[in-house]
């Protein structure tokens, strides 16, 4: 297995280790770009380039997490992977509004299937901010406070499962809090703000706990104390960055909705905003 084979790849020793990340970027970004071309042909107007940029940034974040750059058996390297996969990549992908794009390019009958799935009670439960927050931040508590982490450093399968969970739970959370995609029955601003703050607090708490008990946590590991402390600090401030990004995305949708309803009412028409599509 190549998981820990590329310590020296950052110096260019193992170009083969870059194959997987490269494929990830090309496939993820490629499918999306094909979609935007189809969108443009169908709708006669361009797909928002910010969304494209955001999606590609998400794909690059995944690739970096899988690349030799973060492949080192230190707590810091793991934390960088965690930040990239669980926080930055999901935010980028969610802000790319892939479901909106999908619905815009599918044939009507296929689009109906997608919206039917979005309307199922199971999806509603799974994508509720509280569920998503528990899966996302709760998953981190389980990982760092139980022997699961030690297991993930020994078993390649567990290692990849943990990474997959990071990405999917992070995506669900970002979607639930600030997703631009349509989600039937998405809870209102108050719920989402409260969940964002609570989840941010829980994340900050866990980071401080890891810092304070750097010698003993995660159970079963023997990272140097300074290494674990640095990792915990990165976790803490990385969490802040993502909190800010999600808050900005959340309030931006709020602002857009307010501006739109104001335009409909004909109030404040002297000040022309730039409505985004």
Partner 1 sequence: MTGERVDPATRGRSVNTRSAWGGVLIGLGLVASIDEIVLHQLLRWHHFYDKSTSEMGLISDGLLHAATVVAMVAGFFVLIDVRRAGSLVPRQAWAGLLLGMGAFQLWDGTINHKLLGLHEIRYGVDLLPYDLTWLVFAVILLGAGALLLWRRPAASRPS
For binding to partner 1 (CB under 8 A), which residues are involved? 193, 196-205, 208-209, 211-212, 233, 236, 240, 243-244, 247-248, 251-252, 254-255, 258-259, 262, 267-268, 270-271, 273
At its nearest, how many Å lie between partner 1 and the CB of residue 4?
30
- Describe the crossing of helices 225-265 and 156-178 by its angle, rounded to 10 degrees: 30
CB 69 within 8 A of CB 224: no
At its nearest, how many Å lie between partner 1 and the CB of residue 239?
9
Listed residue (202, 242, 234) closest to 75, CA to CA: 234
Q: Strand (E) positions, the chain?
A: none
CA distance 50 to 38: 17
**Cβ closer to partner 1: 139 or 239?**
239
**Cβ closer to partner 1: 125 or 197?**
197
At its nearest, how many Å lie between partner 1 and the CB of residue 236?
8
**Cβ closer to partner 1: 72 or 253?**
253
Main-chain phi, psi angles of 154, to 5 degrees:
-100, -40
At its nearest, how many Å lie between partner 1 and the CB of residue 72?
24
At its nearest, how many Å lie between partner 1 and the CB of residue 64?
25
CA distance 97 to 119: 17
**Cβ closer to partner 1: 29 or 196?**
196
**Cβ closer to partner 1: 152 or 229?**
229
CB 228 within 8 A of CB 210: yes
CA distance 61 to 88: 7
């Amino acid at each position: 297995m190549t998981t820990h084979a590329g310590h020296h790849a950052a110096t260019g020793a193992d170009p083969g280790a870059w194959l997987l990340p490269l494929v990830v970027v090309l496939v993820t970004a490629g499918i999306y770009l094909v979609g935007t071309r189809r969108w443009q042909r169908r709708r006669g107007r361009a797909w928002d380039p910010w969304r494209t940029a955001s999606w590609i940034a998400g794909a690059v974040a995944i690739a970096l997490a899988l690349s030799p750059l973060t492949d080192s058996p230190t707590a810091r390297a793991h934390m960088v992977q965690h930040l990239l996969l669980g926080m930055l990549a999901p935010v980028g992908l969610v802000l790319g509004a892939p479901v909106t794009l999908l619905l815009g390019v599918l044939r009507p009958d296929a689009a109906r299937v997608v919206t039917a799935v979005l309307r199922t009670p199971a999806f509603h439960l799974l994508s509720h901010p509280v569920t998503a927050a528990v899966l996302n931040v709760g998953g981190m508590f389980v990982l760092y406070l139980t022997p699961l982490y030690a297991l993930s450093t020994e078993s390649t399968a567990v290692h990849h499962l943990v990474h997959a969970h990071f990405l999917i739970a992070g995506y669900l959370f970002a979607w639930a809090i600030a997703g631009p995609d349509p989600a039937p029955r998405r809870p209102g601003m108050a719920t989402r703000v409260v969940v964002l703050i609570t989840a941010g607090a829980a994340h900050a708490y866990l980071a401080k706990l890891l810092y304070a008990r750097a010698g003993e946590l995660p159970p079963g590991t023997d990272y140097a104390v300074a290494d674990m402390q640095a990792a915990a600090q990165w976790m803490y401030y990385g969490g802040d960055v993502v909190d800010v990004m999600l808050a900005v995305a959340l309030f931006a949708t709020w602002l857009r909705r307010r501006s739109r309803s104001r335009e409909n009412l004909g109030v404040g028409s002297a000040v022309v905003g730039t409505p985004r599509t």
